[in-house]
Amino acid sequence: MSTNDIAVVGAGPVGALTALGLAQRGHRVLLLESEQELPTAPRAIVYYWHVLEGLDALGVLDDIDAAGIRNTAFRTRVLATGDEAVVSLAPLEAVTPRPWNIHLGQHDVVRIALDHLSRLPNATLRLGAPVTAVRQDGHEVVLDVGGESPGEVRASWVVGADGARSAVRTSLGIGFDGTTWKDRFVATDIRYPFDAAGLGNANMMLDSENGCVIARIDDSTWRWTWGESAELAADTVMDRLPARLAALGFPDVPYDVVTATPYRMHQRSADRMREGRVLLAGDAAHATNPTGGIGLTSGMYDVFALLDPLSDAVHGSDDAPLDAWAAERLRIFDEKASPMATASKRRVYDDTDRDALVGFVRGSAAAVDDAEAVRRLSAMTVLRSGFPRHHTSFVS
């Protein structure tokens, strides 16, 4: 008999939240992370209003709210002309008790989730435990684990949440078709007075040469994500950073780069999100460029929709709902999430039609009634599906 009901591979936000939700349901959960220390490199930082209820159901929202900052508006600006739109989240007061987004580094969300997980006697975290192979029969899954304590791990079920380079997915021979963008992103945490330069807490600067996304992390630190050709050397990114900042036309004042992480962008999805007793979630199942925060949002919706049917399957119920979960989550990524992220990336970084960009921004700024405002602000809720049974529905 397997020692673990469920092994979760990958202690990023998707894996940590999955492990927490399953352990809260009373299952014996082992969370495996390949790295000896949890990564702190810049990645996603925005948690949209429509995922907050799911985080609250997991018991982590209060801590995330206390550690992060609330944002109640977002700004879009055409860099070349100065045309801009500031869109308030205030109309959402009619449909949610939390009409705001929360900004917090995903490593801090992981830290909070793991703190909650550590309080549960039926959950275990192993760092420095890379999974090298996966095999299964009709009753359990066997994971070969390397690191300082190599050996086999057995579990009744496995969730692979180990990122776009997923060892779980690769070991099972599941394809990961799609494309890799020819440019790279540079996620930069920087101390610079963007607010004094007229920016709000969340900003998209539209420009085919110097487009970027700028979001406040805390009182003094901002996430500035900019793009460049992947043909440029990644190890000289810092040499190009000053000119990139100067091209935004903001005041020439001292600044401090906390960290800058270059990485490639992908639009890919797995052939399938279930293989027997193994399920894929988050970037292991589908990877998208990060413009607009759609990747992590999709991953969290994977988690929220998975917890109940997987818990039922562990208890011996029919596992057919897991097939429905896998098919629906993959459909939503392919038909909704990936096209939305692609359109957002092209608008911010690639579109050379200035008139079209100005028209888009002016249209965003045009006055609409509350019902239309809510409809627009709820556009990303199409990424959810199969919300847990104890949740209510959001406006569509």
Reported as a single tens digit per residue, the pLDDT across 62-74 is: 999 999 999 999 9
pLDDT at 391 over 60: no
pLDDT at 143 over 80: yes
For the question of whether the overall pTM of this predicted structure is more than 0.85, the answer is: yes
Please name the helix (run of DSSP H) or strand (run of DSSP E) that holds residue 260, with its range, or none: strand 256-270
55 assigned to some structural domain: yes
Q: What is the pLDDT of residue 146?
A: 95
If pLDDT is split at 50, 70 and 90, which confidence band does 387 have?
A: low
Sole residue written with tokens 């101390």: 191
191 assigned to some structural domain: no
Distance, CA of 312 to CA of 302 (rounded, Å): 16
Which of 159, 116, 163 minimizes the C-alpha distance to 134?
Answer: 159
Q: What is the pLDDT of residues 210-247, one digit of tens each?
A: 999 999 999 999 999 999 999 999 999 999 999 999 99
389 assigned to some structural domain: no
Q: What is the pLDDT of residue 393?
A: 33
pLDDT average, residue stretch 110-117: 98
Q: Let me know: does 341 contact 297? Beta carbons within 8 Å.
A: no
pLDDT average, residue stretch 255-263: 93
pLDDT at 390 over 80: no
Q: What is the pLDDT of residue 385?
A: 80
Which of 228, 379, 363, 207 minimizes the C-alpha distance to 292?
Answer: 379
If pLDDT is split at 50, 70 and 90, which confidence band does 38 have?
A: confident
If pLDDT is split at 50, 70 and 90, which confidence band does 44 have?
A: confident
Q: What is the pLDDT of residues 160-171, one digit of tens each?
A: 999 999 999 999
Distance, CA of 226 to CA of 213 (rounded, Å): 7
Q: Let me know: does 270 contact 185? Beta carbons within 8 Å.
A: no
366 assigned to some structural domain: no
Q: What is the pLDDT of residue 3?
A: 78
Q: What is the pLDDT of residue 25?
A: 96
pLDDT average, residue stretch 88-116: 96
Backbone phi and psi for residue 133, each to the nearest 5 degrees, phi listed first:
-160, 155
pLDDT average, residue stretch 19-42: 92
Q: What is the pLDDT of residue 2?
A: 63
Domain membership of residue 36 as a residue range: 4-70+102-177+267-343
289 assigned to some structural domain: yes
CB atoms within 10 A of CB 395: 14
213 assigned to some structural domain: no
pLDDT at 1 over 60: no
Residue 243's alpha-carbon distances to 210, 248, 252, in angstroms, are 10, 9, 11
Which CATH number fits the domain that encloses residue 295? 3.50.50.60
193 assigned to some structural domain: no
Q: Two tokens at 213?
A: 């996304």
Which of 187, 300, 311, 198 minimizes the C-alpha distance to 244?
Answer: 187
pLDDT at 389 over 70: no
pLDDT average, residue stretch 52-81: 97
* Domains contained in the chain, number: 1
Residues 6+ apart with CB under 8 A from 222: 189, 190, 191, 192, 194, 214, 215, 216
Q: What is the pLDDT of residue 41?
A: 72
If pLDDT is split at 50, 70 and 90, which confidence band does 359 have?
A: very high
Q: What is the pLDDT of residue 348?
A: 97
Distance, CA of 305 to CA of 385 (rounded, Å): 6
Q: Let me know: does 50 contact 393? Beta carbons within 8 Å.
A: no
198 assigned to some structural domain: no
Residue 38's alpha-carbon distances to 45, 264, 302, in angstroms, are 16, 21, 22
